[in-house]
Structures are given as structure tokens and as C-alpha cells.
Amino acid sequence: MGKFINAFASFLGERVDILIMPRKGASTKFKLHRLTILVILLAWLCVTAGGILFFIRGYDYNVIKADNHLMHLKLQLIADELERGRKYIELTHTTDTQMRQMLGMPNSKFSLSSSDWEKKKTQQDERAQKLFSGNLKDLETDEFEQYVDDIEDSSKTRLASFQEIAWYFANQKEGLHSTPSIRPSNAPISSGYGYRLDPMGHRTSKKHNGVDFAGKPDSPIFVTADGVVRHAGWVPSFGQAILVDHGFGYSTLYAHTTGAQVKPGDTVKRGDKIATMGSSGRSTGTHLHYEVWKDGQPVNPRNILNEIRRIAMGFLKKDSDFSSGEHFSVVSAECYFQGTLNVQGSLRVDGTLEGSVDNARHVIVGDGGKIIGDVTAEMVVCGGEIEGNVCANMLEIFSKAVINGDIRAKKMIVEEGGRIDGRCTIGEEQSVEVETEEEN
């Protein structure tokens, strides 16, 4: 071992001549120990390795810095999207409130009062301002999670509220179809609801639980709402009678009929023909006895005509034509409808309709309802106002109702107080024939 060390030391101690010979000029000669050359090489290697390491570390730093900047931008984008989503949730609260008001729907646990909503909105605004106003690198995880949880809870509440509104509207719509809201016959009313003298000649007073329509034999009788036929056959005093259960507490009775076209268990839709007019049972002549029962008690059928309100959603303004294939259509008290209505069934107007009504079976203008345009239908019942011409087989004008236009009708009944401003063509005689309906 000692010999090896001595030999290595002797090797390093030897001098080496380094000669530099340029192409021109004198040459230069250096004499260096091998140990010196080795030290120089080692120093060069250390400097090179250090430079490479410094470059690599600088590159990594720039990459990490760029990644952090990109992550900061993404986090800012997420924060902006969350805040924008929260603003949209605030808009849904406004829509929720408007829909409840238009449907006449009461508030529930899913809807906040204006003061409570403003308080909650202020709290959310303050939390958002605190979270996102500063540097996002200082964002507190717990506060951010609480902010996201608030948005999630608000979204769930709005979803539950809209589901509740949808259920309420569907229930109201079914109730609308189940409400007897049209006349069962085009014939005029011969006897109203309430107490009257016995029509069979007895000098006694008896309550009349329905309305009588006097018409020609075999005149069509229409069911006044959707339902299921519970009875179709002979009933003492009523003769051939049909009982229809409409649900929601409503049922209707059609008595003294002939030619029944339905049987128990049949499903019927509003406006379907179910029988023809006759004089079966205890009857003084051809007529239809019509009753409406609500929750087990008889009610005045004419009052039911005024019950269908607040069904259509919102304030509707439509500048184009509209065709309805439904059996029954409604323009509610909150609606303003502009355009032509081509109704294949029945129409009730409690709001304002600016445009003509064509090809309808029944048109009912309720109290406060108004049609600005011509009306063509099999039967028109006006309790409000019509500014236009009316063409119908049967026209009934209630007290305080007004028609500003010409009238062409086969039959017309005008209650005391009803007003017509225009020419009237009634029946084939082309003469004015005004009748006053009397109800006992």
C-alpha cells in the first residue's frame, strides 16, 4: 500500500510540458504539475455541474410559478361562475314569488318573505365580498365550503318550491277540468234555481235544486265537465237520468232525458254529447232538469260559471294567432291576450281578449271579462263586455253586460240591465226579439 501511495504521489508530482504553437508567431510553453492539471479539471467539472443545477432549478421555479398563476386564474374563474350562479338563484326567487302571486298560491316553508329574503341576500353578498375581494391565495377553505353549501341549499330550496308550484298548478288544472263550467244545453232557461210553485199544479212551494232548459225534443245534452258516469237509467220523478261524478267534490245530474249515449263507468269529457232532451218521468213538457252538487250539497249552476278564475299562469300577451285543441280554454282575470283564437271546444274569458274568436262551441264572458273583436260560436253567454259583432245560435246576456256591435242569433235572452249597442237580427224574421228571463 505504501508503495502504491509513493508511486501515485510521484506520478502527480511529475511536471508536464504544455506547448502552444500558433500558426504565426512564437510558441509558448507551460510547465505544470499533473496535480495542478487535475485540480483545474475538477474545478471546471464543479462549475459546470453547478451551472446545470442552477439552470434546472430556475426552470422548475418558472414552471411552478406559471402553474400557480394558471391555477389562480382558474380559481378566479370558478369564483366568478359561482357568484354568477348565485345571482341567477336570486332571480329565480323573484320568479318564484311572481308565479305564486299570479296563481293565488299561499307561501310555504320554501318561500321567504321579502324582508327575510333581503336579509339573507345581504348576508350572502357580504360573505362573497369577503371571500373574493382579496387575494385568492389567502382564501379560507372553511369559509369557501360554507359559501358553496349556501348556494347548494338555496338551489335545493328553489327546486323544491318550483316542484310545489308545478304540483299546485297541475292540481288546479285538474280542478278546472272537473268544474261544471258550461251550459248543458243550447236551449233557454225556463226555470231557475231556488224555491218555486209546484209545476204540476199543486199550490205548494218547493225548492228547485237545479235549472230547467226548455227545448225541442231530441235536442243534444252536453256534459259540463270531465268525469265518470255513475248512473244512466230510470230514477223516480226524474225519469231517464244520468249522474256524472267529476271529482273534487263535484257531480252533475241530467234528468228527463231520452236517448242516453253513455253507460255507467264511461269516461266523458266536457262538451261530449251524453243524451237528448225528452219528457220522461214527472215532467210537464220537453226539458232538461240540470243539477250541480258540491261536497254533497246542491248549488246554483249559474254561480258555478263564475268560479273558474286565476287558472292561466301570468300576464299573457301574445301577438300571434293561437289555436286550441283542448275541450276548454281559459283567459283568466290576470291575463291580457292579443290575437285570434280558434277554439275547437269552449272558451271562458275573465280577463281581456283583443282579437276575434272563431269556431267555438261555447263562449262565456265572465264578470269583468272583455272581448275586443268579433265572436262566432254555437252559444255565447255574456256577463261582461263584447266590443264587436256576435254571431251565435244561442245568445244570453246577463244584467250589466254590454255588447257594442251587431248581433245575429237564432235565439237571444237578455236579462234586465243588459245593454246592446248595435243592430240585432234574430231568427228568420230578421227582427229584434228581446226576452227577459225570470227566475223564482
Query: pLDDT at position 240, please?
Result: 94
Strands 322-324 and 341-343: parallel
Q: What is the DSSP letter of 138?
A: G
Q: What is the DSSP letter of 363?
A: E
Q: What three-state secondary structure class fits 372?
A: strand
Question: Distances in Å between the alpha carbon of 273 and those of 29, 183, 261, 276?
Answer: 129, 12, 7, 8
d(CA 440, CA 81): 69
With b for 16 or more beta-carbon neighbours within 10 A and e for fewer, the 359-379 pattern comes to ebbbbbbbeebbbebbbbbeb
Q: Which amino acid is at 154?
A: S
Lowest model confidence (mean pLDDT) among 83-97, 177-191, 221-235, 375-389:
83-97
What is the average pLDDT across 235-258? 92
Residue 334's contacts (CB-CB under 8 Å, 6 or more residues apart) are 102, 310, 312, 314, 315, 351
Q: Which amino acid is at 314?
A: G
What are the grid coordinates assigned to 15, written together? 511536471
Most confident of 11-15, 320-324, 353-357, 424-428: 353-357
φ, ψ at 332 (rounded to 5°):
-75, 175
Task: Kindly indicate the confidence band of residue 437, based on its pLDDT and cuts at 50, 70 and 90.
Answer: very low
Q: How much is the pTM? A: 0.42
Condensed to tens digits (0 to 9), the pLDDT of residues 6-49 reads 777 777 777 777 777 777 777 777 777 777 878 888 888 898 88
Query: What is the crossing angle of helices 141-177 and 34-103, to 10°?
Result: 30
Task: Confirm if 229 and 236 have CB atoms less than 8 A apart.
Answer: no
Lowest model confidence (mean pLDDT) among 193-202, 211-220, 307-316:
307-316
The DSSP string of 373-425 is S-EEEEEEEESSEEES-EEEEEEEE-TT-EEES-EEEEEEEE-TT-EEES-EE
Condensed to tens digits (0 to 9), the pLDDT of residues 138-158 reads 666 777 777 778 778 878 887
Greater pLDDT, 205 or 123: 123
What are the grid coordinates assigned to 115, written together? 324582508
How many CB atoms are closer than 10 A to CB 277?
Answer: 24
What are the grid coordinates assigned to 295, written together? 261536497
Q: How much of the chain, in percent, has pLDDT values that exceed 70?
A: 80
Q: Give CA 237 to chain center in angstroms.
A: 47
Query: pLDDT at position 379, please?
Result: 85
Query: Which region holds residue 264: left if phi is over 0, alpha if psi is between -120 and 50, else beta?
Result: beta
Domains and CATH numbers, the chain: 77-177 (no CATH), 189-304 (2.70.70.10), 322-426 (no CATH)
Query: pLDDT at position 317, please?
Result: 36
What are the grid coordinates assigned to 109, written together? 316553508
Query: pLDDT at position 85, please?
Result: 77
Q: How much of the chain, in percent, has pLDDT values that exceed 90?
A: 18
